[in-house]
Structure 1
Amino acid sequence: MSEQRILRNTKVCFVIQKLALRSGGAERVLIDTANALYDRGYAIELVSHEHRGKKPFYPLRKGIIHTNLYPRDKNRTRIERLWGRLRSVFHKNRLYLPGLAQLQWWSEHGGFRHRLARHIDATEPDVVIAFLPPAVTALGHAKPKYKPRRFASLHNVPEQDFDNTQRWDLNPVDRRLRKSALEHFDGIGTLLPEFCDWFDPALRDRLLVMPNAVKTVQAEKIATAKRTKKVVSVGRLADVKRHHLLIEAWLDIQEEFPDWSCEIYGVGPIEAQLAQQIKELGLSEKVHLRGHSKSMERVYLESAILAHPAEFEGFGLVITEALAHGLPVVGFEDCSGFNFIVRDQVSGIFVPSEGSRSANLAQALAHLMRDPETRARLSQAGLEELERFREDKVLDLWEEVIHGKKTQAEV
């Protein structure tokens, strides 16, 4: 029997609550990992639990199964649909009174946990891997009769996922269950070595530093790239990404660099706010919100600099993608995820955090915009920096997780 057929008998189930049309970094990592492991011969299933019956934003290999556990309306009786609407009104209550908060959590999330347990019993995977806290909570507290290995894959700063009262479900019951769910996993993946200190000492022997993999870009594409005088920023349009600082910085440098432009890619809750800021500052001809793009490779290869003004990052997938396409990067020195991947003055520029952040960012950008030789030097060093995140190395680590072996990546 060939190795390919032997591996195909190893069943890997990835669980994430929402996947339909979602283009975030964690969703991208999930799809890329699932595709790569499928190519290595594993039987892969993605399980979600969401009311939208849409396909994932990123393409899946044809042989990968995608199962949505959320019951479709056409399969429910009229009374069940009416009851569901009444419960959705109840879920919008944000008073979280004692006792009521517990009931509200079970009404809103108990179905995910229960259906996931039944699905595990029906399919009997060898390992189940939960992506992001909602899936970690559901899998950690699920009680299937069949007992596969469980692995929690986390993709942000742990304090933000488990202590921040404004992230995920605001119900305090959810926050408590999020933390206690970690106790039920055989392994826990976190993105950076520094994040390990957050976890309870009793969990430390289950931790594994799991960096995101970086796909290699053909050297010829980088060598023949037609760079334009464009600064690009990529990320969800949310407060934590601090795109407003980049817009403010552009106001300071636009007169010196009239032939340069700035493009911001992403969607999110503050899109209208950023658009208004651009308009009020008179930057509409030079700073553009571009929304989603399925051709990010083209964007990276056409640009000269990546600006990344985020407050923090779990890992910074955008940063590694930019470096892989030969882009020098600029970000704040105190941004976790950025300062782990990038070396100051070697593969990118650290922006000082003291003083005016927008002014400091403007100064760093202007320095690079004036100096094509420095951009070229940083570009080359950035390509070399990514060796530790090479896709085959990270996939080898995922295989260790699948087979229950305790190893650690060198990052």
Structure 2
Amino acid sequence: MSSTQSASAPHLLIVIHSLSGGGAERVAVDLSAYWVERGYRVSIATQTGADDDAYALHPSVQRIVLGTAAPSQGRASALLANLRRVWKLRRLIRRQRPAVVLGMMTTASVLAIVAARGLGCRVIATEHTHPPSQELPDMWLRLRRWAYPQASRVVALTSGTAAWLEEHVPGSALSVIPNAVCWPLKQGEPVLPPPEKNGRFRLLAVGRLHQHKGFDLLIEAFRGIAEYFPAWDLVIMGEGEDRESLQAQIDDAGLSERITLAGRVGNIGDWYEQSDLYVLSSRVEGLSNSLLEAMASGLASVAYDCETGPREIIRNGIDGVLVNPPEDVEALAAHLSDLMAHEAKREAYAKRAVDVLDRFSTARVMALWQQVFERR
């Protein structure tokens, strides 16, 4: 227990599958560090061990490994595995007696609600992706409808997700809390210095190489305008299961010298600083951490106006551009062309983009979390 804590300090238990790379995982680590430094006792319970961690915990945060992440085969096996998860989590809650249990993402939230029944702690559920874009088995969808109305609070990243939950999971007590923009950006491994631009311009995109991120749409849009902007290159940062298909698309377009899949890096801040324009081509979003980071770094941004997320960050025509209709390649190409061609417009948007440092500041976001944690 750190010197800032006492035996009577509020105890927060965060439940999450793992601390591998991802937005919810990073939020869990950031929340735990913030509140442990303010006198809370904080524990994080994960199903997986530390081998696949992408984020380091604050030294005063207790890590509990439940060891319940093994894959299951078939419905009976899945049922038994989830019963075991509930049993181990309930034992932990009985032993630790936290004041608040915070479930991170749908399945962890449902497990936390079930495990904590009758134990006198407040349980907060969270949704970090927009539910219609989730690929959850029917069992989890039914369990969510049953469990969320029993939670003390259900936290959504965006007002769009909150509206969806209000309609499809009636009876839930809802709050909207966005992600805070983490600033200054942390440096980590692997470090990949951005190549010298040598008079060229860089269009940057960041995200998991997955269909949801729409990089296939982005590559097609860039293909349509590349010949008109011979000094511009596209760099896509991130890893994922679509790497091979995206690289094949790049090669087929004859753009392997102009479009780079640069992989995952720990020094993403250097890439934001050394880029000229940011693009978010997602088909679906929660609340994009990369978009917040890019704007905080002073980049004008172009994003599809998908159902939730970008419209709650970008002020269209003020600090960036929302592209409609979503998933329209020609519309994306047209808006990219406009900003690639007009440096003064890029610079004007960039000057206003840094307002996200105030609009999504840690102080503002943590004040919202405090209201949820201490609500009676």
Report the TM-score, using the length of structure 2 for normalisation. Answer: 0.89
1:2-401 aligned at under 5 Å gives the runs 4-5=4-5, 9-19=9-19, 22-50=20-48, 52-54=49-51, 56-70=53-67, 91-93=72-74, 101=75, 103-143=76-116, 146-161=119-134, 167-168=135-136, 170=137, 172-200=138-166, 206-217=173-184, 229-353=201-325, 357-401=328-372
Q: Does the Cα contact within 8 Å between 2:301 and 2:319 map onto a contact in 1?
A: yes
1:304 is matched by which residue type in structure 2? D
Larger Cα-atom Rg? 1
Q: Could you tell me how far apart the structure 1 residues matched to 2:307 and 2:172 are? A: 27
Q: CA deviation at 1:45?
A: 1.0
More helix by share: 1
Contact 2:33–2:57 (Cα < 8 Å) also in 1: yes
Count of aligned positions: 363
Q: 2-side partners of 1:214 and 1:26: how far apart?
A: 13
Distance change >3 Å, CA 258–CA 404, structure 1 → 2: same
How far apart, in 1, do the equivalents of 2:118 and 2:155 lie? 25
CA contact (8 A) 1:141 1:184 kept: no
TM superposition shift of 1:194:
3.0
Secondary structure of 2:212's aligned partner: helix
Q: CA-to-partner distance for each residue in 1:297-317, whole Å, 9 max, x for gaps?
A: 111111111110111211122
Bigger drift between 202-211 and 180-189 goes to 202-211
Q: How much does 1:18 deviate?
A: 2.4
Task: List runs of 5+ in structure 1 lacking aligned partners.
Answer: 73-83, 94-100, 162-166, 219-225, 406-411
| C-alpha distance in structure 1 between counterparts of 2:101 and 2:253, whole Å | 50
Hey, what's the Cα distance between the residues in 2 that align with 1:335 and 1:348? 17
Gaps of 5+ in 2: 186-195
Residue identity (%): 26
53 and 215 in structure 1: CA distance in 2 versus 1, 3 angstrom threshold = closer
Contact 2:161 2:308 in 1 (8 A): no
Per the TM alignment, residue 145 of structure 1 is displaced from its structure 2 partner at its CA by: 5.7
- In the alignment, the residues of structure 2 paired with residue 138 and residue 281 of structure 1 have an alpha-carbon distance, to the nearest angstrom, of 46
Counterpart AA for 2:155: G
Q: Residue 116 of structure 1 contacts residue 139 of structure 1 at CA under 8 Å; is this kept in 2?
A: yes
Distance 2:275 2:86 in 1: 45
Shift of residue 251, structure 1, vs aligned partner: 1.1
Cα 1:8–1:297, aligned 2, differ >3 Å: closer, same or farther?
farther
CA RMSD of aligned residues (A): 2.6
Asked whether the equivalents of residues 203 and 278 of structure 2 are also in contact (C-alpha less than 8 Å), the reply is yes
Change (3 A) 1:376 1:335: farther
CA distance in 2, matches of 1:242, 1:258: 23
Cα deviation for residue 329 of structure 1 reads 0.7
CA deviations 1:157-208 (Å, max 9, x no partner) are 13334xxxxx13x3x2232113212122111101122333223578557211
Counterpart contact for 2:202–2:233, Cα < 8 Å: yes
Secondary structure at 2:125 match in 1: strand
- In 2, the alpha carbon distance for the partners of 1:200 and 1:256 equals 46
* C-alpha displacement of 1:147: 2.1
Q: Is the 8 A contact 1:127 1:149 kept in 2?
A: yes
Q: CA deviation at 1:133?
A: 0.9
Whole-angstrom distance in 2 between the partners of 1:385 and 1:5 = 32
